[in-house]
Structure 1
Amino acid sequence: MNLLNLIRWKNLLMIAVVQLLIKYALFPTFIIDTTLSPLNFFLLIIATVSIAAGGYIINDIYDIETDTINKPNKIIIGKKITESTANKLYILFTFIGVCLGFYLSHKVGKPPFFGLFVIIAAALYVYASYLKQIAIAGNIIVSILVALSLLIVGIFELIPAMTIQNETVQSTMLEILTDFAVFAFLINFIREIVKDIQDVDGDHKAGMQTLPILFGKTRTSKVTMVLTLITIAIILYYITTFLYMHVGAIAYFLIAVIGPLIYISIKMFTAENNAQFKHISLMLKIVMITGMLSMVLYRLIF
């Protein structure tokens, strides 16, 4: 159980479920051509979650000092799992993910795709060891990696199967997936800043330069509120431009995505203590889930 908590098994499960939704709900197989067999798609999921698991481990290794202050009751490395064992687990998970990426890239006839796995693994290490200490930079990097966990399905499923005859349809589906990736980036970016607000005390003692340390918790909270309002505006533009003929889809987005985001923006305006910011972080996670579940609606649209 300690290992499962260390690798954030709930988050890894969410990544796997979202990738399954992309393949079996978002991509209508009667319209588009896909590349991976069920077995190879399963290996793609394993590769993605393995690299992500390695990322969580290396992040915790570098966060031992700050977690002692921010999350003293949730510390695993040094208490339940030794730092040496954690380093070995990091290497193991990352090695598995990168090796599977190498195999899959050659399997679909696109060897350069292997570079994606190397870049993602390297970015997670650089984030944990250096970038997370820099205001905004770390938040942007980790949010890009979250978006890539969606896009990588399209890269492996759609691009290798693209021909002159199906290029228009394949490109359209890739654009739709990119829209979801942008949504994931925005929600995760906001949530990362909220988490920085929660962790401001430990981060300050560790010498980090996160946004709340530079601007203060109150100003940073207002920044996240503005970012949330911008996200709401983007989603409203999207549904009125592309989904205006689908009343059910519009209703879903209004109730399950935009409604909670409005609630979150109001809470951000009034939030003052860690309990309130923790609640906001949880709500953002729920919005991420409801947003990803909207992929099921596209099967009805197509």
Structure 2
Amino acid sequence: MNFLKLIRYQNLLLLAFMQLIFRYGFLKLQNIPLALDHFQFGLLVLSTVLIAAAGYVINDILDQETDYDNRADTLIVGRSISEKTAYNLYFVLNIAGVGLGFYLANIIQRPSFTGAFIIVSATLYMYATSLKQMLLVGNIIVALLLSFSVLIIGLFDLLPATYDGNRAEMGIMFSMLIDYAIFAFIINLIREIVKDMEDVEGDYNQGMSTLPIALGINKTAKAVFGLGMVATILLLWYINTYLMENALYFAVIYGLIFVVSPMIFFLVKIWKAQKKEEFHLLSTVLKWIIFFGILSVLVINLNIQYNAKG
């Protein structure tokens, strides 16, 4: 169980779920060719999960002092798992993840795509060692990496199956992946800042430079409120432009209840949030918003099919 906690198994399950939903709840429901078979796509998901797990491990290894200040009761490296064992685990996870990426890149006859896995792995290491100590840079990096886990589906499943005859149709599919990648980036960026607000005491003691330390909790809360407001307006615009105008009313109701409503709850609460427990709750709310936002791609497709039958 300590191993599962170390690799943040809940976050990894969310990551795998996200990729599976986009493949089987979106792309497979379209009348388009895909480059990977079921087994190969499973390896793509596994590769992504392994590299992300390695990122969590190295982050915990190098973050022991900060974690001791912020959440001593959940400390794993140095207590339940030795630092040496954690390092060995980090190397095994990385080698396995990049190795699978190398195999898949050659399967689709794009060996240069191996570089995507190497870059992600290296970026996660750089994040753990230095980038997360830089104001906002670490937050942006983590948010970008989650977005890339959406886009990599397009790189490995759509791009190799694209030819002149289906280029326009595949472009539409890729643009939808980009839309969801942008959504994942914005919400996860907000969540990373909220997590910094939750951990402000330990980060300050370790001399880190985060937005709450630079601006203070109150000003950061207002800045996060502003970002959240922008995200909410974009969500409402997207729902009105792409769902309402296409009579996808089930998807509209779903989006308003499960994505927009929690965002409004978040906005109300973040404005005056002060306590660690409040920030933890809001971080969890944002995670659920990401989950239901991802699931919306399946709801939209089912709504389209329902309308077609009607």
Does TM, normalized by the shorter one, top 0.5?
Answer: yes
Is the 2:248–2:300 Cα contact (8 Å) retained in structure 1?
no
- Opposite residue 262 of structure 2, the aligned amino acid is P
Match for residue 294 of structure 2 among 283, 288, 292: 292
TM-score normalised by L of structure 2 = 0.96
Unaligned regions of 5+ residues in structure 2, if any?
A: 306-310
1:248 deviates by 1.2
1:73 deviates by 0.3
In the alignment, the residues of structure 2 paired with residue 29 and residue 103 of structure 1 have an alpha-carbon distance, to the nearest angstrom, of 26
- Opposite residue 272 of structure 1, the aligned amino acid is Q
Q: 1:30 to 1:252 in 2, by over 3 A?
A: closer
- Opposite residue 184 of structure 2, the aligned amino acid is A
Unaligned regions of 5+ residues in structure 1, if any?
A: none
In the alignment, the residues of structure 1 paired with residue 178 and residue 37 of structure 2 have an alpha-carbon distance, to the nearest angstrom, of 22
Tell me what 2:308 maps to: none
1:25-36 superposed matches below 5 A: 25-36=25-36
Does residue 20 of the first structure (1) align with residue 31 of the second (2)? no
1:27-46 C-alpha deviation (Å, 9 max, x unpaired): 14442111101111111011
Matched residue of 1:13: which SS? helix
1:299 deviates by 2.0
1:161-192 C-alpha deviation (Å, 9 max, x unpaired): 00111111111011001111111111110000
Tell me what 2:204 maps to: 204
- Opposite residue 251 of structure 1, the aligned amino acid is I
1:141 deviates by 0.3
Match for residue 248 of structure 2 among 234, 246, 268: 246
- Opposite residue 298 of structure 2, the aligned amino acid is V
TM-score normalised by L of structure 1 = 0.98
In the alignment, the residues of structure 2 paired with residue 140 and residue 30 of structure 1 have an alpha-carbon distance, to the nearest angstrom, of 32
1:99-114 superposed matches below 5 A: 99-114=99-114
Is the 1:33–1:170 Cα contact (8 Å) retained in structure 2?
no
Higher-helix-fraction structure: 2
Matched residue of 1:272: which SS? coil
Q: 1:173 to 1:213 in 2, by over 3 A?
A: same
Is the 2:221–2:271 Cα contact (8 Å) retained in structure 1?
yes
Matched residue of 1:207: which SS? coil
1:77-106 C-alpha deviation (Å, 9 max, x unpaired): 000111111111101101100010000001
RMSD of the alignment, in Å? Answer: 0.9
Percent pairwise identity:
43
Q: 1:243 to 1:24 in 2, by over 3 A?
A: same
Is the 2:266–2:282 Cα contact (8 Å) retained in structure 1?
yes
Is the 2:162–2:170 Cα contact (8 Å) retained in structure 1?
yes
Deviates more, 1:289-298 or 1:41-50: 289-298
Is the 2:29–2:301 Cα contact (8 Å) retained in structure 1?
no
